[in-house]
Chain A
Amino acid sequence: MSDFVFATAQYESGDWDSAPLVPANIIDTIARYTSIDVAPTGVIVPLSSSSMFRYPLLYLTGHLPVRFSEAERANLRRYSELGGLLFVDDHNHDVDGTFHKTATEELSRVYGPIKTVPNTHALYRSFFRFDDGPPTTSHELNGWGDNLVHKTLSGVERRGRLVLLYSSKDYSSEWNYHPQNKRFLSVDNTKFAVNLVVYALTR
């Protein structure tokens, strides 16, 4: 089995599969920049299943309200205790959207208070350097986007390591394209995903 398999979290409520091209794009980026032994295809893992513990980094996204079942909460609680990292991205890019409100409420029940991750965090230096914190997305920028720029990410740490990373920046839209189209970009906008995976694998 490969050292890293990109795993998308499937939850019983909402639209967990709203960004279907993200896994392939991230896998392509990891293979492009690193020597990490990455599996060529991703997997979909139900949060209510114990198989989620096979994948210590999980990606969760959606637009719709999130309500975890008891089994999903229990698994996530245990996952965080064991050192698994859950990366949650709001596909709405909205501070007042239904996903944001319900997901942060659910995640707070499982993980406790969600705090701002400082832009000096090791996450922003684990491979590429992001001195200004999380890279902005085109959906945030004035003109193309709505000019609602989230300057930081949020998260929860246990024993000095992130176990939850929450983004309102809508990387799910930013990275949701076929990897072959990366050649049309002047700057690869998926580089931050490399930092995320390297951080998860090494810290």
Chain B
Amino acid sequence: MRSRADLRRGVEWLLRAALVVALAVALWRSMMARSEAGVARRTTVRALPAALREAASAPAVTGLHLAVSETPSPLQRAWLVALRRAGVAVTWSGSPPAIAAEASRAREPRAPARIAVAASAGAKIVVADSAGVVDTLRVGAAGGGALVESDGLISPVTASSGPFAARVALPQAPESRAVLVLGRPSWESKFVIFALGEAGWTVRARLPVAPGVEEATAGLLPLDTSRYDVVVALDSTASGLSAGIARFVAQGGGLVAAGSATRLASLRALLPARAGERLPGRILLEGDSVTPPGLPLRPLASLAADAVVLERVPAGVALAARRAGRAAIVAVGYDESWRWRMLGGASGAASHRAWWSRTVALAAPDRSAAPSPSSGGDAAPLAALVGALGAPVSPPASAASETTNALPVILLVMIVLALVAETASRRFRGAR
């Protein structure tokens, strides 16, 4: 019968054998790695930085497969593209949601930033800026997208669905110059100046009060695009400056012509349409309020070939525009729009202000700069991923997941444990 000491010696031999086997496996692996033609790695977005470093520094890595469970950054995408161009077979798998975002800002001084989000039907989208969550949206069942308008956002803005996020940089607020209003001293002039001023525009005006006497902002002229964005001609008093206006438009300035200014022969070549005879507005009863269709109108007709109709009321075309370089020329058919402000009910003043600000913004030259590539945006991550790496593939079954490979650690633990156990066993039984 074998004694306990014999058993112990047998175990020690087993441990020595295990130690030798582990060392042999480690030696074999190190020799195989050197002699291999190449290995394919499999990684996740979280472990991607290490995998990218390895793939960029170890020539043995000939393939890299990325399991997409969250959005890889544009930098990581660019790195993957570079690896692919360097000959590494880069593939990806997963089903990230299609999500895209766009940030824009109207050319109005106080226009809020507008974030348009496109996502698949029913998706829950969290819109956040650098300071925190702005809004949570759910895309309708028909799909499409959603729109968020907000003041005071801090760039960048993200629209995320779970761990996947589209990121956009907010465009700078447009650089705006003054608006010059030309008109008679009238309620229309006064309240157009009022409305534009309240909307944040810097307004200068020239209002001839009597022959040789005009109520004008000091230093009004010259009329050029370094000082003005738009000229608003409200009536025929603009005729004295029509040559300057034509020059201003040729330089890239915008023009809004309203009232009798739309019938000036000297501006006819510029305008998108010619106004017809004035039609009286709707007669208001006590307590009644006026909306644009109820205002007096000079219906716009004889539209230029490149004119676009922007507003139409039952009595005819009320707003038309044509492009002129980076700006536009807008013809307004409404007459006495001030009535909308004063007699437009609770929302009249705000609507009148917003309408005039929007109309002037339509004419204002577009001075926005194209977003910088370094702005850190990732507006459509799925589209960018497909564009960079192609369509997703099925995850490879045999690719070694080096970044999560635990074999070297297991071998090391085995060697250490076997060594410690064997030595301890020998010492406890008194052997050397």
Contact = CB atoms under 8 A, between A and B. Distances in A.
Nearest to A160: B197
Interface stretch (A11-19, A77-85, A136-144): A77-85
Contacts of B95: none
Contacts of A53: 342-343
- Could you say which interface size class chain A belongs to? 20 to 34
A159 B197 CA distance: 10
Contacts of A202: 185, 189-190, 205, 207, 209, 215
A200 B209 CA distance: 12
Nearest to B287: A50
Interface string B337-373: 0110111000011000000000000000000000000
A127 B209 contact: yes
Contact of A127 (B187, B213, B342): B213
A177 interface: no
B322 interface: no
A202 to B, nearest CB: 4
B208 interface: yes
Given A37-B184, A81-B349, A202-B209, A49 B286 contact: yes
B194 interface: yes
Contacts, number: 75
A201 to B, nearest CB: 4
Interface residues of B, number: 30
Given A33-B210, A53-B343, A81-B349, A201 B191 contact: no
B198 interface: yes
Given A36-B209, A127-B213, A202-B205, A3 B185 contact: yes
A34 interface: yes
B102 interface: no
Given A35-B210, A53-B342, A201-B186, A82 B198 contact: no
B209 A34 contact: yes
Contact of A198 (B194, B197, B209, B339): B209
A54 interface: yes
Interface in A1-41: 1, 3-4, 33-37
Given A34-B209, A35-B210, A198 B342 contact: no
A198 B198 contact: no
B197 to A, nearest CB: 8
B336 A1 contact: yes
A33 B209 CA distance: 9
Given A159-B198, A202-B185, A203-B190, A54 B215 contact: no
B430 interface: no
A155 interface: no
Given A82-B349, A202-B185, 12 more contacts: A34-B210, A35-B208, A35-B209, A37-B186, A50-B286, A51-B286, A54-B343, A127-B210, A127-B213, A159-B197, A198-B215, A201-B186
